[in-house]
Structure 1
Amino acid sequence: MTARTDLSVSQGAALSVGAVLGTGLISLPALAADAAGPASLLAWLALIVLSAPLAWTFAALGARYPDGGGVSTYAGMAFGPKVSAAVGWTFYFAVPLGAPVAAGFTGGYVSDVLGGGRGTEMATFLALVTVAYLMNWFGLRISGRVQVGLSVALATMLVLTVIAALPHARWDNLTPFAPHGLAGVGAAAALLVWGFAGWEALSSLSAEYRDPRRDVPRATLIAVAVVGVLYLAVAAVSVLALGPALAGSRAPLADLLAIGLGGPVRLLTAVIAVVLTLGAMNAYFAGSSRLGVALARDGALPARVFGGQRRSLTFIYLAGIGCALLPFDLHTAALLTTGCFTLVYVIGTAAALRLLPGIGARLVAGTAFTAVVGLLWLNGAPALLSLVIAGAALLYQAIRRARTDRPSSIRSGSTAPNPTTSPPATDRSPV
């Protein structure tokens, strides 16, 4: 259980906004517009509406069962260790898959300033992922206050962007409204899951409030409102001010600031994008590397490969570089990653249906569950990867259990450790 730190409503709301208001918004308006045209605004609105029951569900789980393990813990409580391991695998392997996507968003801003196209974007990715890797290797951390500060900087930039570009909005840019029909809106919604990932962080924060039962709903309401207003405002102004050019933009926020303010705004937005992405990547590398160690400790991953923070960290680093070399465009890679995030939400909300008491709580959780199942379906073929990862976790558990239960697997008098109680010694790394 997390030690209480007397978190106030305003502080909790700021941390929640910081967890959700991530790197995706610097490029998501363009990707969504490419998928659905101006009708992408419907997808934004749908995801904002979905945020309320989804955020409330995870906040309710955290208030009732405060634990830092988050969704994996609740999956284990509701469905057992196998499903908990499947959730852990799905999130863990989504991190190296998503790292090139996050860096790709930022690379568009850097190449917009420096030129060089794909080469500059790849160099930006390698620089960001290597710095995050080294920071975690040597135990350097960006503090929680700095993480929130970075998110506040992004929110400030978004507000300035909207104000600057608003005079250039044109209603004519709403036509044709849905060039790709409803299918395009669904495709845009599947992509936008990236920008709304983070509501599960509410569950791990709840134990730190002064009065969780009173303060968590208030902080959640504030966070949902702030995120929703910022997202919808930026998306709407992007569509209205940039028009058809939005779909092909690699740096939509820079384009909006450029038409609104002029001057060296592209350099400023590129620097902000780099710093913000590095902060997010550092946090994900830190958390996921420890998740890998925990999974290895519990027998859900091979201890020889993942049994130690530096080993787990190195796997994420190398796997991230490998994923960047795969023949996927940014759109497909983003869908593969959001498919994994969505499956985690499906299992988390399903666990809430079993764990939360009361008809009202289950009704809200059921609404969130139905919505995220729909999003998983809208994700299309890329969602199959998340199911493959979850299935691989279950298969590994079954194979490991079969080997452990085999009488001949441990010879008489052997001093081999029991993998369920005494994991092998691992490399030392800073905590």
Structure 2
Amino acid sequence: MLPDRAAITAYLTILTGSAGRLLISLVYFLIVANTLTLGEFGLFAAASSTGLILSRLLAFGFISPLYRVATVKPRLLGSYLSGFAGLAALSLPLIAGAGALVYLLLFAGRLAALPFAVIIVAEVLGWRIVEVVLIVNNGLRRFRQAALLVIIGSALRTVAALIFVAFGHASLEIWAFAYCAATMAGAAIALLAFLPAARWRFVRHLYPRRMADAVFAGTADIVFYVQSELDKLLVLGLAGERTAGLYAIAMRVIDLTAMPVRSFNQMLVQKIMKDRGLGSWRRLIGFEAGIALVSVAGLAAVILALQPFPALLGRNVAQAAHLFAPMLLVPAFRNLVEYHAELLYARERTGARILLLGLLTALKAGLIAVVMTRFAEGNAWAGWMNLVFGAVYLVSAGFTYRLLAPGRAPAASR
């Protein structure tokens, strides 16, 4: 499991893309978060989270076989891209139906149907397509191209945000269309300039054999993002738009500090997939400690920067800044749970990953519901989030390491 020079170079290349995306995304976030009202930003974050979850239904999870083929059998890439395109088209009615149901349950009366639909389209047919091209490039170890695409995609959204502010009539409805235009432009650039050249062929016998893996991996991906994003929807439903806006700002700042960790996770997954091993307990504990340290340090740096300059990140972020210190441990717990899910994926324990993420989703939803119904007044809920995410982490760590104890033989995917 020791990194070689090529692995370190690849990680630094990915990290460069993440750093570029971090800086550009920070500018984008600050513009949007401080231009919309807190309530509008809460609605946008919740609608975007809904789209992010629904985008995992695209192609019924066939992105997982696509990534595995790009990693280990790139000569079959064209055939799998063809299958992905066909399955993506077939999955769109399901996505539309699920989106309509979520709108009726949570957003009706809060947000007009058209801007909600536009945000969903942006996530499903815009940003998700960019992610697919990124996944393919990373599987082929074309890390420089992937890093550049990440920066371009983030830059387009930032340009859209700048135009949105310059337009002068800032509203969530107008921002929804600007956001969709930017993400669709990013998808077009990804497909035209960054999708690797391959001979697309529809090879019917390939797909039935891979659909079980696709559905299981897709289900795990959906449950993962439900576990990750459901909190924003719960806060909106239980505490209202303003609290949802404050929570979304705090979690977005936390999310921005996670980019170096995600770059590490990506490299580790590829290493495990090729070596078929996790390494020793000592190494795993070192990984956990390193992820926790980097995660907390990122948020601590933001807190320290805001001490002498409370309005450094804008008016609305300043209103949420007092939540950062009480939530100091949340980044560590959140990123470690994501790391555990990646370990299970790398070892092809898809069924176990679904079970774990389903358990974590139920636990997290229940705990957040308790916190938001009992401690919503005066933002007292912020400190309790450490206990919510800490409990989720403990369950995740116990389940994952009991199942993937170092030295065990690789298991089947289900």
Give the TM-score normalised by the residue count of structure 1: 0.32
Give the TM-score normalised by the residue count of structure 2: 0.33
Taking CA–CA contacts closer than 8 Å with sequence separation of 6 or more, which of the two structures ends up with the larger relative contact order? 1
Structure label with greater radius of gyration:
1
Q: Which has the larger share of helix?
A: 2
